[in-house]
Structure 1
């Protein structure tokens, strides 16, 4: 049962993840302005990491969102969609934090959890849980 009424968890999570991507993009823009770099990273380590954090989040987020919507389409149960979405979001936040010198282990755990959740989502789509 969807606790949100007519709003599907997949759509809600897609909107939340989009906000996360906008925040990462805004950070890239902030650093570009601060360091006066128009293209590339201009040799600036912080900008390079911000660009990669944003790009990596897009690289994993776009296919995950499509798959999450597919899971909704094939009627995967709401609890599965909810928990996979939350786990993916947490994994991506950990990975991004690890890119910003919070700690390499955050990045490692975030990357590993991302892959596990992506595979789990593929499994529940095929398995029709």
Structure 2
């Protein structure tokens, strides 16, 4: 059996985050079709919420995916990539669930953003470690 490499670890989390973005995008499309709105949110709160949920993910996910890819390039241990990927991905899922179910504050949304930031800090710290090591 082959060993798991840094590239394999990063591929898992990049793939999962891409499917998360696709899912959130499909939820926007579903709301657009339901309310017959082609552009903008048409003043429909559910559509505005779906757009914002997808938009928030597109603001955070790309930088984390770059971080995971660079960790794979510098051959960081797969465990470090899995920790960063897991914390970040779970944070993004929780945030999306919280934001899509309530426009206000919610427990999943708060925990989700906290985990997202922890994932960012972990990624940044490990990247800086490999930059100077």
Query: How many residues are treated as equivalent by the alignment?
Result: 128
Contact 2:96 2:109 in 1 (8 A): yes
Equivalent in the alignment of 2:129: 127
TM (normalized to structure 1)? 0.90
Equivalent in the alignment of 1:39: 39
Are 2:39 and 1:16 aligned? no
1:101 is displaced (CA, Å) by: 1.9
In structure 2, the gaps of 5 or more residues are none
Larger RCO: 1 or 2 (CA < 8 Å, sep 6+): 2
* RMSD between superposed Cα atoms in Å: 2.0
Query: Structure 2: how far apart are the matches of 1:117 and 1:5?
Result: 20
Contact 2:6 2:75 in 1 (8 A): no
Superposition pairs of residues 97-108 of structure 1, within 5 angstroms: 97-101=97-101, 104-108=106-110
Query: Structure 1: how far apart are the matches of 2:5 and 2:108?
Result: 35
In structure 1, the gaps of 5 or more residues are none
1:66-90 Cα deviation digits (max 9, x unpaired): 1110111112111010111011110
1:12-44 Cα deviation digits (max 9, x unpaired): 211111111111101100000000111111111
Contact 2:95 2:110 in 1 (8 A): yes
